[in-house]
Amino acid sequence: MKISLVQENPVVGDIDGNASMARDYILENESFGSDLIVFSELFITGYPPEDLLLREDFLISALKSVENLSSFIKKSKVLIGLPTIEEGKRYNSAALIDRSGIIQIYNKHVLPNYIEFDEKRYFSHGNSKNYFQINDIKIGLSICEDIWDEGFLNLQKENNLDLLINLSASPFTISKKKDRGHVFAKVSEKLNIPLIYVNQIGGQDELVFDGSSTVINSKGKITFELKSFATDSLQFSYEEINKSLNKEEKLDRLKDLYDSLVLATKDYVQKNNFKGVLIGSSGGIDSALTATIAADALGSDKVRTIMMPFKYTADISIEDAALLAKNLKIDHQEIPIEKVYDAHMSKLSNIFANKKIDKTEENLQSRIRGVTLMAISNKDGLLVLTTGNKSETAVGYSTLYGDTAGGFAVLKDVSKTLVYELSKYRNKLNEVIPERIIIRPPSAELAPDQKDSDSLPDYEILDPIIELYVEKDFSVKEIIEEGFDKKIVEKIIGLIDFNEYKRRQAPLGVKISDRNFDKGRRYPITNLWKPNM
């Protein structure tokens, strides 16, 4: 038996485009002589289609597209993911088709309902038969979460399978590859049969999918592994699965993280048909990394940076922003904002009379920059990428309608300490971010001699507190027991909780952590519960 695996980047809602892509792979792999061609979970609609699944016309269109694929099949069988509806119930399904049409439908048994997953909102649990045969080989079917479930695996023992196939749409996070490795080992241990895992790639709003499709032999060893964050396909014979290549999975954390941000940015811009992107360049590390990711994702000709200096902007910031643009070969302009600021202050002079200078004047600078970027965005059809990181987003170290103004936040789930790590990683490939940007103390430059450390603890202290509270739900007491100062912990927790209203108004950004601030953590804004201090 010859098997082909397809790791692709289906676009949510583009049923015709996804079907056309599937057709091309079917024709190509039929020429290889494939007996079975395997696509990923909900391939025909893209994943996750969210409330599109509530539209019956959407579901009908998906089914018709899969049925039409049979006309391009000569000898192969094709396994492809789609949503189906039966007696008013919707299912996350896999269709087995050949030239005669759909010959079997398998409905996903185990529905994930946590963090970014809310499949119980849309789907019913399946209990359909989940195996078929080709050339006397008994092949089991599963969809994503199924193989993570102990009960499902126990049921497969009774089926006496020769092979288990898993169609997946598994988003990338920092820990996901390790987690999958544990699951693959569990499948091997329980069933003692090979596993074929086919995952999609691509960015979909805040989610990014890494692919990393894998073939595991009956001893739990990797036989074949497809690329991460890239389209890929593989053809092999069933007999090759258990010829262990002793391939050990090597995790490259920073490469995976960087590649995830590049792919997510590329797909968000291109799938939504923006001409290019615009970034406010401050001469600091966040805007430098954002611009570098954008250039790697889209090409230098699709990226513009604008430096908007004020009287507090250091000369080296202006120089470094220009040097970054030169290194990246991107368009760069300077638009001073001092006259605009003075005009605003003159207009507000009566209202501000006899009142002390405070954050208001700092925020005004940021908002002038935001308005400038949005005006250029409107005129030239460019998407503004905001540059705030997870550390700043957590504690509200940002200005509403200022540096939060934009359409996509590349670093929204990237802590400040990780921003430094990723910048150093990228410079090892070829040095584009000026070294001075990396080694300078971070500053918003909204006041004389301002540094982030004036308002916040060092990021080496701040970031672990944010991780423990936001991602792991540690209590204040538990965080303090980890060795952190009580006053600092109480201050940071208070800032995180207070600034929910800011985060709700900020643009979405790429999810790379186990729990981000969009789909991952849904706290009420109006909320009088406070953790015990």
Q: Give the CA count within 13 Å in the CB-facing half-sphere of 46.
A: 23
Q: For residue 269, give the nearest of 306, 301, 230 by alpha carbon.
A: 301
Q: For residue 222, give the nearest of 261, 196, 257, 192 by alpha carbon.
A: 196
Question: If you ran DSSP here, which 8-state letter would residue 241 be given?
Answer: T
Q: What angle do CA 341, 344, 347 make, to 5 degrees?
A: 150
Whether 221 is catalytic: no
208 with 512: CB under 8 angstroms? yes
Would strands 36-38 and 2-7 be described as parallel, antiparallel, or unpaired?
parallel
Question: If you ran DSSP here, which 8-state letter would residue 384 be given?
Answer: E
Query: Token pair 């009420």 is at which residue?
Result: 524
Whether 41 is catalytic: yes
Strand runs (DSSP E) across 34-159, as ranges? 36-38, 77-86, 89-98, 101-107, 131-134, 137-143
Give the C-alpha separation, 38 to 59, whole Å: 21
Question: If you ran DSSP here, which 8-state letter would residue 119 be given?
Answer: G
Task: Give the contacts of 481 (CB within 8 A, at least 6 positions apart).
Answer: none
Query: Which one is catalytic: 2, 77, 108, 221?
Result: 108
Question: If you ran DSSP here, which 8-state letter would residue 50 be given?
Answer: G
Whether 144 is catalytic: yes
- Other CB atoms within 10 A of residue 82 CB: 26
Total residues found in the chain within this entry: 533
Token pair belonging to 416 = 């400040």
Query: Which one is catalytic: 119, 144, 221, 412?
Result: 144
CA 321 to chain centre: 27
Give the C-alpha separation, 415 to 459, whole Å: 9
φ/ψ region of 283 (left if φ > 0, alpha if ψ in -120 to 50, else beta) reads left
Query: Which one is catalytic: 41, 145, 225, 392?
Result: 41
CA 311 to chain centre: 38
Q: Concatenate the DSSP letters of all residues of 165-189 into one string.
A: EEEE--B--TTHHHHHHHHHHHHHH
> What type of residue is 303?
V
Give the C-alpha separation, 386 to 392, whole Å: 12
Strand runs (DSSP E) across 195-327, as ranges? 195-199, 201-204, 207-210, 214-216, 222-225, 232-237, 277-280, 303-307
Give the C-alpha separation, 213 to 232, whole Å: 9
Give the C-alpha separation, 74 to 214, whole Å: 27
Would strands 331-334 and 89-98 be described as parallel, antiparallel, or unpaired?
unpaired
Q: For residue 425, give the nearest of 287, 257, 282 by alpha carbon.
A: 257
Query: Token pair 């994930």 is at which residue?
Result: 112
Give the catalytic positions in this structure.
41, 108, 144
